[in-house]
Amino acid sequence: MTIFKKPVEFITLDGKQRFAKIILMLSAQDQKSHIRLLNDIMTIFSEQKNEEKLWGQKEILDVKNVLYELLQEEK
Protein backbone atom coordinates (compact mmCIF):
# COMPACT_ATOMS: atom_id res chain seq x y z
CA MET A 1 0.00 0.00 0.00
CA THR A 2 1.17 3.48 -0.85
CA ILE A 3 -0.39 6.71 0.39
CA PHE A 4 0.34 9.94 -1.43
CA LYS A 5 0.19 13.34 0.28
CA LYS A 6 -1.11 14.81 -2.96
CA PRO A 7 -3.34 12.74 -5.25
CA VAL A 8 -1.65 11.28 -8.33
CA GLU A 9 -3.34 11.80 -11.70
CA PHE A 10 -4.22 8.85 -13.93
CA ILE A 11 -5.95 8.77 -17.29
CA THR A 12 -8.33 5.85 -17.74
CA LEU A 13 -8.48 3.73 -20.89
CA ASP A 14 -11.49 5.76 -22.03
CA GLY A 15 -9.59 9.02 -21.52
CA LYS A 16 -11.16 10.16 -18.23
CA GLN A 17 -9.06 11.94 -15.64
CA ARG A 18 -8.88 10.22 -12.25
CA PHE A 19 -6.88 10.85 -9.08
CA ALA A 20 -5.55 8.33 -6.57
CA LYS A 21 -4.36 8.98 -3.05
CA ILE A 22 -4.04 5.33 -2.02
CA ILE A 23 -2.68 2.57 -4.23
CA LEU A 24 -3.05 -1.06 -3.16
CA MET A 25 -1.25 -4.11 -4.46
CA LEU A 26 -2.66 -7.59 -3.99
CA SER A 27 -0.99 -10.96 -4.19
CA ALA A 28 -3.32 -13.84 -4.99
CA GLN A 29 -2.87 -17.42 -3.87
CA ASP A 30 -4.75 -18.71 -6.90
CA GLN A 31 -6.78 -17.50 -9.89
CA LYS A 32 -9.99 -16.84 -7.95
CA SER A 33 -9.34 -15.93 -4.32
CA HIS A 34 -8.55 -12.28 -5.02
CA ILE A 35 -11.84 -11.60 -6.84
CA ARG A 36 -13.91 -11.41 -3.66
CA LEU A 37 -11.35 -9.15 -1.98
CA LEU A 38 -11.32 -6.83 -5.01
CA ASN A 39 -15.11 -6.72 -4.93
CA ASP A 40 -15.12 -5.87 -1.20
CA ILE A 41 -12.50 -3.15 -1.70
CA MET A 42 -14.49 -1.61 -4.56
CA THR A 43 -17.62 -1.66 -2.40
CA ILE A 44 -15.77 0.14 0.39
CA PHE A 45 -14.37 2.82 -1.93
CA SER A 46 -17.75 3.35 -3.60
CA GLU A 47 -19.13 4.86 -0.37
CA GLN A 48 -18.15 8.48 0.27
CA LYS A 49 -18.13 8.08 4.07
CA ASN A 50 -15.55 5.28 3.80
CA GLU A 51 -13.33 7.32 1.49
CA GLU A 52 -13.42 10.24 3.91
CA LYS A 53 -12.59 7.95 6.82
CA LEU A 54 -9.59 6.54 4.95
CA TRP A 55 -8.38 9.91 3.62
CA GLY A 56 -8.46 11.32 7.13
CA GLN A 57 -5.72 8.98 8.30
CA LYS A 58 -2.15 10.28 8.46
CA GLU A 59 -0.17 7.08 8.98
CA ILE A 60 -0.14 3.99 6.79
CA LEU A 61 -0.80 1.74 9.80
CA ASP A 62 -3.95 3.74 10.57
CA VAL A 63 -5.12 3.38 6.96
CA LYS A 64 -4.49 -0.36 7.11
CA ASN A 65 -6.44 -0.64 10.36
CA VAL A 66 -9.40 1.34 9.00
CA LEU A 67 -9.39 -0.68 5.77
CA TYR A 68 -9.26 -3.91 7.77
CA GLU A 69 -12.21 -2.77 9.91
CA LEU A 70 -14.22 -1.85 6.82
CA LEU A 71 -13.42 -5.20 5.20
CA GLN A 72 -14.63 -6.99 8.34
CA GLU A 73 -17.90 -5.05 8.13
CA GLU A 74 -18.35 -6.26 4.53
CA LYS A 75 -18.36 -9.91 5.64
Q: DSSP secondary-structure letter at 2? A: E
- Judge whether 41 and 66 are in contact, CB under 8 Å: no
**Helix, strand, coil shares, percent, the chain, to 5:** 50, 25, 30
**pTM for the full predicted model:** 0.67
Could you read off the pLDDT of 17-66 as tens digits, one per residue?
Answer: 999 888 888 888 888 878 888 888 889 989 999 988 988 888 889 988 99
